[in-house]
Amino acid sequence: MAIVNTLEKCLGSPYLFVDKDAPTRVGKLLALAGDRLEAAVNLSRAPKSDPAEVNMMCHEAMFACIRALVYDKGYREAGLRCLLLAFEKLYIHTGLVDSSHIHMYEKVQALAPAPEESIEAASAFVKKTLEILGK
């Protein structure tokens, strides 16, 4: 298979597809994002919190936001790369989301930031997602 590096190529691949029912899944993804963000905050307050675990919860919150936004446009993914390409094309390239959110997502995914920075980034991303979706 050819390298999938554009939204159009993703849609021609098995990794991204149109799904008219995808928007019905947005509510559960938003609930998941909120749950994971709350878990990250609670973990960070624990006496012996594990920074990696806090970052993982933040990553999951941000990932749920990316999925919710792409699903809201009627797409579903079967691969992370195509999900991120769809998110970039639909939200970053259109100016709806600042690219700093995806850059922080990638840092949090690598478990690089301090837990407080990850929580701040995840909170901002959840807030922006809710704003875009009118929730």
pTM: 0.94
13 inside domain: no
Answer yes or no: is 53 within a domain: yes
Could you give the CA distance from residue 50 to residue 5 in angstroms, rounded to a whole number?
35
pLDDT for 63-121, tens place per residue?
Answer: 999 999 999 999 999 999 999 999 999 999 999 999 999 999 999 999 899 999 999 99
| pLDDT tens for each residue of 22-50 | 999 999 999 999 999 999 999 999 998 89
* Domain assignment present for 9: no
User: What letter does residue 49 receive in the DSSP assignment?
Assistant: -
Instruction: Using the predicted structure, report yes or no on whether residue 14 has a pLDDT greater than 80.
Output: yes
- The confidence band for 4, taking pLDDT boundaries of 50, 70 and 90, is low
Q: Domains in the chain: how many in total?
A: 1
Please count the CA atoms within 13 angstroms of the CA of 93 that sit on its side-chain side: 9
- Residue 61 near residue 37 (C-beta atoms within 8 A): yes
Longest CA–CA separation in the chain, Å: 49
The Cβ of residue 94 has, within 10 Å, a number of other Cβ atoms equal to 9
Residue 9, phi then psi, degrees to nearest 5:
-65, -35
Looking at the domain assignment, is residue 112 inside a domain? yes
Residue 6 lies inside a defined structural domain of this protein: no
For residue 60, the domain's CATH number is 1.20.120.330
pLDDT for residue 2 is more than 60? no
Residue span of the structural domain in which 50 resides: 18-133
